[in-house]
Chain A
Amino acid sequence: MKELIAYIAKALVDKPEEVQVTEIEGEQTSVIELKVAKEDLGKVIGKQGRTARAMRTILSAASTKINKRSVLEIIE
């Protein structure tokens, strides 16, 4: 899950080297925290949050496959 978000985030930002993804695994739900450079924040959120929403949708599809739930949090 972590790698999936990291790949997408890195492909979208101007400073891929500053992308940090951490995964906090729970029994059923994992929280994935995405951190990017300040100026790249808009790139991973998108207009009206469209990019963030798309990443969450893909993440939930991937989680469904392993019968889990994942939440994506974008850290400021």
Chain B
Amino acid sequence: MSTSHTAQVEGILSTARTLRSELGTDFHEQLVEAVFATAARIADRAVSRPGEKARPTLDRTIDRLVTSRVWGFPLMFLLFTVMFWLTISGANVPSAWIAWLLIDKIYPLLREGAAGLGLPWWLWGLVIDGMYLATAWVVSVMLPPMAIFFPLFTLLEDFGYLPRVAFNLDWLFKKAGAHGKQAMTTMMGFGCNAAGVIATRIIDSPRERLIAILTNNFALCNGRWPTQILIATLFIGPLVPAYLGGMVSALAVVGVAVLGVVLTFMIAWGLSRTVLRGQVSTFSLELPPYRPPRILQTLYTSVIDRTILVLWRAVVWALPAGALIWLTSNIHIGGRSIAEHLITLFNPPGLFVGLNGVILLAYILAIPANEIVIPTVLMLTVLATGTTGVGQGAGVMFDLEDTNQLMALLRSGGWTLLTGINLMLFSLIHNPCSTTIYTIYKETGSAKWTTIASLMPVVLGFAVTFLVALVWRLMTGAA
């Protein structure tokens, strides 16, 4: 760039400065007004409303209802309970069917095939018993609930309900010192925490964005529903008469999800008053018009975009995790497998907080994917109790369709109602999965905040389960 050019540029800038000071301060407003006036004049000429038909009032009526101070929250609660209930009651049959196909039919075929080929036992053990079964379990447990929940959620999104949820929750987030838009990212977190963390980009203020990232893990992601749903069905459902079981189990799952939202507020409140102090930003949220959802397209896109993608990621993580689980159960040191050693090691702290060694080990093995916690727990329980007659051998994941049999197995592993409740709580409050941790690192670019985001929930989880166990023991007088 030549010097004369630079001089010319500086000349322009100084002229601009001079003119600007002459114009006064309301220049910006004048300009905006000129734009608005022009827009209004053009719109006036181009838009007409023949017949003076009043604006349809259906939208307004719905809005008044779903964002009402009185009805907004109960309706929200009801809607999500119904969604979870549909998911829970609708997923059982296809889940059992897929499990039958993948585990009862294909699995024996694969084993026979491997035996026929004369492969060494450890190879097919690792590949078929470890990797294949872990994947088969993940698919059969995760696919049906996702295929029901995601389309329902997408239909609500398409219809325009999500911004109303944000509207309802906005004042709470503000009270907690967080950004109102965090209501959206929390909603996304119910689908997948990694997606929720990415969605925090809609929050402009770095302080509030960090709060949203650190608390997104408390939105119960779909990888954790199978755990919640199964444990609620096993431990909470039987507390009431059979015909109420399904609804009460659904309510228990919603209760855990609501607890997650409450924790989000509490942690946000704590953070915004300590390490992340600052002003709450204001923002305007436009409530979009309700649009009739396109059912078929929504089904298609939610299956392709969300279900298959999330499932694929789970499968990718389940393969190595399955191998790892198989190895820990089949490599023996001093006459016992590594898994047994670890269970013995984790049992005292586990029991102390109302869980057990099996659960803690399962959570460590399942850091890559929350989805495989339950199969890992079952597999390790069989190993630890030495139960025979179920499963196919050490380190082999399996499926028990009969709830009574499942209960009997867990009881022999020392499970009580407390273990069930605390497992549901711990499933809500523990470290994010490795995908989410990686996403947090990418989004914050900070090892410090990633560490905090990973460790804070674990510490909190132990504190909560310990407190529940303490109260439980005081109330029941159990040791």
Whether A associates with B in a native complex is no
Chain A residues close to B by CB (< 8 Å): none
